[in-house]
Structure 1
Amino acid sequence: MPPETRQPARRRTLPTWDFAIVGVLLAVLVTAGLSVEGFAASRNIGFLLLDVLVIALIALPLTLVVVTGEIDLSVASTVGLTSAVMGSLWVSGLSLELIVVLCILLGGVLGAVNGLLVTGFGLPSLAVTIGTLALYRGLAFVVLGDQAVADFPADWTGWAIGSLGDTGIPNAVLPLVLLAAVFIVVLHATPIGRGLYAMGNNTEAAVFAGIAVRRTKFWLFVATGAVSGLGGVFWTLRFASARADNATGLELLVVAAVLLGGVSIFGGSGGLFGVLAAVLLLGSLRNALQLVNVSSDALNVLTGLLLIISVVVPAVLARRRSRRRPRGRPAVAGSATSTNGPSPEAESADRTKGTT
């Protein structure tokens, strides 16, 4: 067998980024379980899952957004604003069932504002969502000020922090699992998901292929806002406190989990399995370090370092692969950016050589 035909086969046997993240997660869990007192206790595992639950929720739709080459940094402010509105509506006398629905709808409206500015006016999502990050957080303080609302029904708050029997697994994991299943199927097993990768790889080509790029991205922002609104509801019930500053800084953890999970910041590659593993990895690291009394400032430094690593390492590996690939060869089959033949740039270069 010629060397050029054996090389792709060897590459396919290499561990993917998802498997690497899962391997690191398992190593952290085993190491922490053996060396950190109380880490493996069912009570602590329940706290760990509660801590990462909102991050995991928001990471689901945000992964799809980043796959298309966009970003939403306003998710934490959406959580804070929906929490403030939830407290204000509860004080006004509305039923909690109605308030939950209204908060999810509010999150969808906030996401629609982002989507309209990005897809309707053609503005960069990074700039737009930095602006709405500040706007939504400011509106949260307008709604509730610096006060807190804490007299929510005990059965609701008890459910938010309760567990499934004696397992230590929080009740709220059930809706997370259902939502994760939906997003995984959409991204990895439907034409919609293939269209999202196409948008991230080449927006113009996706348009020519008949994909409704603007409409799809708009609804992704709406979904991200709605899920963030749901996250605001859970956050408020878990801590039994509606505050305008709830979830401040959470966007850093969510974006770090998405990028650490293997989703390219430029779009077009990555998946939800790696992202969910990265959420658990970040949560486990922070939980273990908190148990050994590491300061919150040091935890923020760790999060920032992991965020940088998640951007730099895949870029370096992609550059090394492109250098090793023979000139004019297509990308390895099965990757998010691979094709069935030479790229248009390669064909153009070949034609140019032929005429000179």
Structure 2
Amino acid sequence: MAERIRRAAGSWDFLVLVALVLVVVIGAVSIEGVASPRFWRFVILEAIPIAVIALPLTLLIITGEIDLSVASVLGLSCTVMGKLWASGVHSLPVLVLVCLALGVLCGAVNGLFVTRFGLPSLAVTIGTLALYRGLAYVTLGDKAIADYPTSWTDGAVAPIPGLTIPWMIIVVAVLAILFAVVLHATPVGRGLYAIGNNDEASRFAGVAVGKTKFWLFVATGAMSALAGIFWTLRFASARADNGNGLELAVIAAVLLGGVSIFGGRGGLLGVVGAVVLLGVLRNALQLADVPANALTIVTGSLLIASVVGPNAVAIARARLRRRRPTTSIPTTP
């Protein structure tokens, strides 16, 4: 038991949670408003779309792939939702289903290029990042659709009765549990780690590598579209530039959460903690009147730290293990 506690305390997930606690405490002491319920409401509202996208992206990056088009899929789903509303489709369930189907299609396109044609996901999703964002501008131009019913827009950010926390956090929590169960408690999850460590060996072991990666791209596209629906309703505006640059925050959260950019390592607990940590940092710095450009610098710096940090911890652990004296059993002549 003691050994398990020691290992958990030395894990990257634990370090992320410690960093989160330190940032919250320091912010509450030094910045007025950080300890208020209103502050945490905005942190959660900002974290919801990032978390929704980060959940499937975590699984995808564990397999050694990446999707840089997530923010563009979000923006495209926003514009399609706005276009359909302006065209007379006023049923929210229909709009949600169409946007989710669009996200599935975008993810399937990425997945097909990567798994069927063997193209690198980095190159493919850089291309579709531009393609999907361009389609968003073609769909809606530079216009904004903002005449949604208040029952929709207020309902999307409504708090849980008796609390200030938005009810959408329940949806995120359910999704997080589902993805965590898949990753950490099923053979599928073990297969994802195996693919990330060595996809050729995984194929020989019977893991459906191509099919698994394809469906992860589909899931990432669908969750990006879901984040776009929330984004549209939260801000009561459908624009082609919605979520522009959000992929940086999502990838920073995943990597800061301890997921290796090379695949094969990471977990969802650290990712969820990193999402909240980034949200607290950004909102606290905004309260401290830090310029927006500085916030981008902070996010970029954390992205670099998230790549260097876990590797540095792994190297330090390996050196400590080598330095430990080994005990030998004395032999009698």
Q: Same fold (TM over 0.5)?
A: yes
> What corresponds to 1:84 in structure 2?
79
- 1-side partners of 2:82 and 2:8: how far apart? 53
- 2:313 is matched with which residue? 317
1:49 and 2:44 matched: yes
CA distance in 2, matches of 1:325, 1:170: 46
Instruction: Name which of 14, 39, 60 aligns with 1:19.
Output: 14
Q: Give per-residue Cα distances to partners, 1:72-117, cap 9 Å, x unaligned.
A: 0000000000000000000111122201111011001100000000
Task: Determine helix, strand or coil for the equivalent of 1:163.
Answer: coil
Q: Kindly indicate whether structure 1 or structure 2 has the higher relative contact order, using CA contacts under 8 Å at least 6 residues apart.
A: 2
Counterpart among 99, 103, 124 of residue 103 in structure 1? 99
2:212 match: 216
Letter in 2 for 1:40: A
Specify the alignment match of 2:325 in structure 1. Answer: none
2:290 to 287, 294, 311: 294
Tell me which residue corresponds to 2:35. 40
Using the alignment, how far apart are the partners of 1:13 and 1:38 within structure 2? 33
**Residue 249 in structure 1 maps to residue 251 in structure 2:** no
What RMSD in Å do the two structures reach over aligned CA positions? 1.6
> Which residue number in structure 2 is paired with residue 307 of structure 1?
303
CA distance in 2, matches of 1:105, 1:175: 19
Q: Which amino acid aligns with 1:75?
A: V
Do the aligned residues in 2 keep the contact of 1:90 with 1:96 (CA within 8 Å)?
A: no
Please give the alpha-carbon distance, in whole angstroms, between the structure 2 residues aligned to 1:325 and 1:210.
Answer: 34
Q: CA deviation at 1:321?
A: 3.9
Post-superposition Cα deviations, 1:233-282, rounded to whole Å, max 9, x if no partner, equal: 00000000000000000000000000000000000010000000000000
Structure 1 unaligned runs (5+)?
1-7, 327-356
Alpha-carbon distance in structure 2 between the residues aligned to 1:228 and 1:294: 29
Instruction: Please state whether the residue corresponding to 1:69 is helix, strand or coil.
Output: coil
Amino acid at match of 1:46: R
- Alignment partners' CA distance in 2, 1:158 and 1:9: 45
- What's the CA shift string for 1:290-336, capped at 9, x where partnerless? 0010011000000000000110122223334445555xxxxxxxxxx
Paired letter, 1:213: V
Q: 2-side partners of 1:248 and 1:294: how far apart?
A: 20
8 Å Cα contact 2:8-2:14 kept in structure 1: no
- Distance (Å, rounded) in 2 between the aligned partners of 1:11 and 1:272: 20
Q: List aligned pairs for 1:214-293, cutoff 5 A.
A: 214-293=210-289
Q: Which amino acid aligns with 1:81?
A: L
Instruction: Give the alignment partner of residue 172 of structure 1, picking from 162, 168, 173.
Output: 168
Percent identity at matched positions? 61
Q: Give the partner amino acid of 1:249.
A: G
**d(CA) in 1 for partners of 2:81, 2:58:** 26
Change (3 A) 1:138 1:10: closer
Give CA-to-partner distance per residue, 1:161-190, whole Å, 9 cap, x none: 211123111021111111111001000110
Which residue identity does 2:80 align to in structure 1? V
Distance in 2 of aligned mates of 1:276 and 1:149 = 32
1:183 corresponds, among 156, 179, 184, to: 179
Q: How many pairs are equivalent?
A: 320
- The 1:151/1:10 distance shift into structure 2, 3 A limit, reads closer
| Structure 2 match to 1:65 | 60
| 1:74 maps to 2:76 | no
The separation in 2 between residues aligned to 1:67 and 1:219, in whole angstroms, is 14
Is the alpha carbon distance of 1:188 and 1:10 closer, same or farther for their aligned partners in structure 2, counting shifts above 3 Å? closer
User: Among 105, 111, 115, which residue is 1:115 paired with?
Assistant: 111
Runs in 1 of length 4+ with deviation above 3 angstroms?
8-14, 319-326
Deviations 1:51-77 (A, max 9, x none): 111001100000000000000000000
In structure 2, how many angstroms separate the alpha carbons of the residues matched to 1:73 and 1:111?
A: 11
CA distance in 2, matches of 1:62, 1:154: 32
Question: Do 1:63 and 1:272's aligned partners in 2 also have CA atoms closer than 8 Å?
Answer: yes
Cα distance in 2 between the residues matched to 1:13 and 1:88: 49
CA distance in 2, matches of 1:227, 1:112: 13
Residue in structure 2 matching 1:125, options 121, 124, 133: 121
Query: Residues 199 and 99 of structure 1: is their aligned pair in 2 closer, same or farther, counting only changes over 3 Å?
Result: same
Unaligned runs of at least 5 residues, structure 2? 323-333
Deviation at 1:13, TM superposition (A): 6.5
